[in-house]
A and B are shown apart, each in its own frame.
Chain A
Amino acid sequence: MSTGLNDNEIISKVLSGDHQAYAGLVDRYQSYVFTLALRMVKTREDAEEVAQDVFVKAFKYLADFKGASKFSTWLYTIVHNTGISFLRIKKLDVHSLDNEQVFERADNLDSGMRANMVEQKSKIRMVHDAISMLSPDDAQIITLFYKAEQSLEETAQVLGIETNAAKVRLHRARTRLKEKMEVYFSEEIRNL
């Protein structure tokens, strides 16, 4: 295994013919890629399919990784593009950030959930549930910034936008998340 090597060393090994070394990169990034995919496509089955597709594409085009950015940033760009394509193919709605329908959709999806909400829900689960109610765009930027170890500049690069735009998007996404938590998890928040 290539666990002791850094990303660039593993990539060099893979490019020089040791394809098994790629397993080291898959092991290292599978949770990040899967979480990002799950934030976009919402179901675990679809997220696994997208994540697998991402690693296959990354392998195929590994020679194009120039090392100008972190491998993770390059990989998450593939996640972003693959996720968007998947949503388009599945004809799911990719809501824009300013689309108020996002809230209506979340309300509808979760109409029965409020009544049956488990009172002792852990705060981590609560945050996960609140994130899953966000639009793919909002959920993705929050995950990139908080869980995928990406700076604002790198997050912007993954999403193909300016750093300032990423900053505004992140602020809005967090505000919406807070609103979701206040609406659906007010009791849990009080107990924190």
Chain B
Amino acid sequence: MNDKNLNSNAGHDGMDNRLWSYIDGTATAPEKTVIEQLLASEAAWKAKYQELLEVHQLLHSTELEKPSLRFTKNVMEEISKMHIAPAAKNYINNRIIWGLGIFFITLLTGFIVYGFGQMNFNSGQSSPIGKTLDKLNFSNLFSNNLINAFMFVNVVIGLVLLDSFLSAKRKAHRKAA
């Protein structure tokens, strides 16, 4: 079976879609050639093409609707009471975003490192995961001075970053007002 027959046997939806692409000018060059051949040889394709083209032309012939004559005046009156908001990029400080990201990654890494540090990899039992997890001593997590200091520093950094983020936002709002 050749391409032409395959194309001729395409369903109505396929025909419609291909013809719309052809009419819109979005069909590829080889597809355009195939459709042109079909239009020249197949009456059904030609009839459908005329039908769709008519709809296309009718849609182009429609006019835009017009709002009331006072429309522009109404909009201008409305915006006279307003201010343009500062661009989002001006009040979103990338350094703060990065700082917050680094803070949380550090926190997470600290917990993971500590967790692995508590594990006994040489326990050599038949079910190592269950057994070694049992050996994790979470009570040490908050009793160890080093970890407590680490947590404290992270919390302070977090609060400082949060404060600078909120201050920047407040300043931006004041400036906009």
Contact surface of A with B, Cβ cutoff 8 Å: 14-15, 19-20, 22-23, 26-27, 30-32, 34-35, 38, 44, 47-48, 51-52, 55-56, 59-64, 123-124, 126-128, 131, 142, 146-147, 152, 167-168, 170-171, 174-175, 177-178, 181, 192
User: How far apart are A146's CB and chain B's nearest CB, in angstroms?
Assistant: 5
Q: Is B174 an interface residue (CB 8 A)?
A: no
Q: Is B41 an interface residue (CB 8 A)?
A: no
What are the residues of chain B within 8 A of A170 when measuring CB–CB? 20, 24
CA A31 to CA B80, docked complex, whole Å = 22
Q: Is the CB of B84 within 8 A of A63?
A: yes
The one of A26, A62, A142, A171 that contacts B59, using a Cβ cutoff of 8 Å: A142
Contacts A48-B71, A61-B84, A127-B62 given; 14 further ones with Cβ under 8 A? A30-B66, A30-B71, A31-B64, A34-B64, A34-B67, A35-B65, A52-B78, A56-B75, A59-B82, A59-B84, A63-B85, A123-B61, A177-B59, A178-B51
CA A152 to CA B61, docked complex, whole Å = 19
Task: Give the secondary structure class of B's interface.
Answer: helix
Report the interface size for chain B: residues with CB under 8 A from the other chain: 38
What are the residues of chain A within 8 A of B29 when measuring CB–CB? none
The one of B26, B66, B76 that contacts A31, using a Cβ cutoff of 8 Å: B66
Q: Is the CB of A175 within 8 A of B16?
A: yes
Q: Is the CB of A52 within 8 A of B60?
A: no
The one of A26, A62, A146, A181 that contacts B62, using a Cβ cutoff of 8 Å: A146
What are the residues of chain A within 8 A of B88 when measuring CB–CB? 64
What are the residues of chain B within 8 A of A44 when measuring CB–CB? 65
User: How far apart are B46's CB and chain A's nearest CB, in angstroms?
Assistant: 17
What are the residues of chain B within 8 A of A127 when measuring CB–CB? 58-59, 61-62
Evaluate whether A63 and B87 lie within 8 angstroms (CB atoms) in the complex, with A19-B80, A124-B63, A147-B64 already known: yes
Q: Is the CB of A171 within 8 A of B71?
A: no
Can you report 25 A-B residue pairs in the complex whose CB atoms are below 8 A from each other?
A: A14-B84, A23-B76, A26-B71, A26-B72, A30-B67, A31-B66, A34-B64, A34-B71, A35-B64, A47-B67, A51-B67, A59-B75, A62-B84, A63-B90, A64-B85, A123-B58, A124-B63, A126-B58, A128-B62, A147-B62, A152-B24, A170-B24, A171-B16, A171-B17, A181-B55
